[in-house]
Structure 1
Amino acid sequence: MALKYQGNVSEFIIQGLSDSPSLQLPLFVLFLIIYLFIITGNLTIFFSILFNSNLHTPICLAQLYIYISLACSEYILLTAMSYDRYVAICDPLHYIHRMSNKHCSWLISATYCVGFFASVGHVVLLHKLSYCNSHIIDHFFCDLIPLLKLSCSDTFNVEILTYVFGTLLAGNSFLLTLISYIYIISTILKIQSTHGRQKAFSTCASHLTCVIILYMTLFCLYMKPTTSYSLDRDKFFSLLYIVLVPLLNPLIYTLKNKEFLIAFNKLRCRVKFSLFPVKIIH
């Protein structure tokens, strides 16, 4: 019979797969064998591929599809995050209702669905091209423009799709983000206290920095004809996108979160105490 608690419950106990003591040990052994089999199988595949050069065949187009899909999803996700900040600053009384778990789940699902479906057209058109100029991509990952430079076919359709795709997806995302920040900045400027303005702006500064870097690299890399492609310049912008943006992610998702900072300080004190325990001298 389950116990009934009075008041608010703050802790939970996981009962497990079965509450029968006679089944606990057999189930533990069964699932232990299954997990060991999974680990052994994956390690076997990993080392087989590692030491067999015949299996080191790059799937160029699959990597590009994943890259474009995740990039598109990130732009839409940043737009959703700008809406989150808009609601938090401009309409805080309705934040819980407008950004409920149901709405957040819908936004995240729609973000990745749009991203992974929107990049199918690029892969289909790239697969139809002929690549006879070279088999070496002069880049540190399989990007769209360096791949088009290797094609000896007409790349007009791919370029048109890139411009249309960039205008519809990235352009609309940028426009919605811009509108959100126009309202956010106008609301912040109406706050009378300096401390309140600084606190409101600090919640948006890191996200706004990430948005500027992402859209700057997008327009500099892809919203131009392939004839104006510059290897060194585009590598630099790609490096900004791949290295600098992930570097800013902790500032966006964690270091601006008070609850995370409290948990991090507790963890730091616990680690410090375990490494340098205080000795009591009698």
Structure 2
Amino acid sequence: SLFQVMGRGNTTSISEFLLLGLSEQPDYQLILFGLFLIMYLVTMLGNLFIILAIASNSHLHSPMYFFLANLSFIDNCFTSTTVPKMLMNIWTHHQSISYAGCLTQMYFFMTFALLDDFLLAAMAYDRYVAICLPLHYTTVMSPTRCVLLVTISWLCSHLIALSLTLFMTQFSFCGSHVIPHFFCDLLPLLKLSCSDTDTFQVVMFIDAALAGLVPFTCILFSYVHIISTIFRVPSADGKRKVFSTCGSHLSVVILFYGTVILVYLRPSSSYSAETGTIASVMYTVVTPMLNPFIYSLRNRDIKGTLRRLLSKGMISFW
């Protein structure tokens, strides 16, 4: 692969890494396997149901649900980059991952994490236009613009992830090859390198500013205007109805950004493996699992569609 070729071109002396996982205690392995297998299956099924509900109901073919379907698809991809490998390691008691496999996992992990970031910003912009500029909604959020926003998100995510991954291939790993994590994340790998990583850290923080702070600023801008508009609504019932259209999205934003900031928006020298691992579990496994519940439980249209799909499925089964 590309990463293998790049690895041979530098002074990398490690052919594989060892992923310690979430716990080295043998007694906990079976519990962790069962817990994460259930969480993974719930995530996959929950997001697939959201996509199926949106695809099967023509009333849900709107920009808001178009972005939600994309978010559900990306969340499934995001979780699938880390959890299946962790489950396989626990089941086989084989913790190694090849150098190329590690960089590939890191690349796709960053890509889907960045996509989540960009899509949450696009969804916030959609809610801003719907609530603050309702008369211009169909013009501003046209199908072409929605597809363009998603396409730009995919391109930017892949470019940023690829640039950081190719940069990482220039580093030497001549000491420990043990990663105190359950997947190949950027900061734990950086800690193992015996090369000078100062330039990389500058590049990483610039990328973090572009790919993290810009979408986050867009989200803040949108919600400042949304909240301002809500306060101008005269009735309490009207305020509640307006806010209900963006409550689910706001919950997901807080959950996602809270854990990501805890891990990445600080110097790598202060990185704690234990804190990083716990926070990573939150945004790589727990958040994608909770997203379908947050959106379906708070959304009457999706709840109704899911209920009809499940009742049809039960009738077909019997």
TM-score tier after normalising by the smaller chain length: 0.7 to 0.9
Q: 1:69 to 1:272 in 2, by over 3 A?
A: closer
Where do 5+ consecutive residues of structure 1 fail to align?
A: 1-10, 12-52, 277-282
When normalised by structure 2's length, the TM-score is 0.65
Judge conservation of contact 2:172–2:193 (CA < 8 Å) in 1.
yes
- Match of 1:235? 277
1:153 maps onto 2:195 in alignment:
yes
Describe the shift of the 1:122–1:274 C-alpha distance in structure 2 as closer, same or farther (beyond 3 A). Answer: closer
Letter in 2 for 1:84: D
Q: Distance in 2 between matches of 1:210 and 1:263?
A: 21
Which of 180, 183, 192 matches 2:222?
180
Contact 1:162-1:222 within 8 A present in 2 as well: no
Whether 2:259 is the aligned partner of 1:217: answer yes
Partner of 1:70: 112
Distance 1:162 1:219 in 2: 14
Structure 2 equivalent of residue 112 of structure 1: 154
Residues 226-277 of structure 1 deviation map (CA, whole Å, 9 limit, x = unaligned): 221111111111111112211232145544444332222223434555678x
- Give 1:99 deviation, angstroms: 1.1
> In the alignment, is residue 85 of structure 1 matched against residue 127 of structure 2?
yes
Q: CA RMSD in A?
A: 2.5
| Residue type at the aligned position of 2:220 | L
Per mean C-alpha deviation after superposition, the further-off stretch among 238-247 and 267-276 is 267-276
For the Cα contact (< 8 Å) 1:162–1:223, is it kept in 2? no
CA shift, 1:137, in A, is 1.3
264-273 or 101-110: bigger deviation:
264-273
SS at match of 1:119: helix
- TM-score, normalisation: structure 1: 0.73
Distance of 2:150 and 2:299 partners within structure 1:
20
For each residue in 1:164-218, what CA deviation from the matched residue of structure 2 results, as whole angstroms up to 9, or x when unmatched?
1111221111111100000001111111222221122122122112212222222
Which structure: larger Rg? 1
SS in 1 for 2:262: helix
Identity fraction in percent:
39
If asked which structure has higher relative contact order (CA below 8 Å, sep 6+), I would say 2
Paired residues, number: 225
Deviation by residue 1:81-114 (Cα, 9 ceiling, x = unmatched): 0000111111122211111111111111011111
User: Structure 2 counterpart of 1:102, which letter?
Assistant: T
Residue 164 of structure 2 corresponds to which residue in structure 1?
Answer: 122
Structure 2 portions without partners, runs of 5+: 1-57, 59-93
Give the corresponding residue for 1:200. 242
> Which residue number corresponds to residue 137 of structure 1?
179
User: Which one has a larger percent helix, Structure 1 or Structure 2?
Assistant: 2
Q: Which deviates more, 82-91 or 190-199?
A: 190-199
Determine the C-alpha separation between the residues in 1 that align with 2:133 and 2:289: 30
SS at match of 2:178: coil
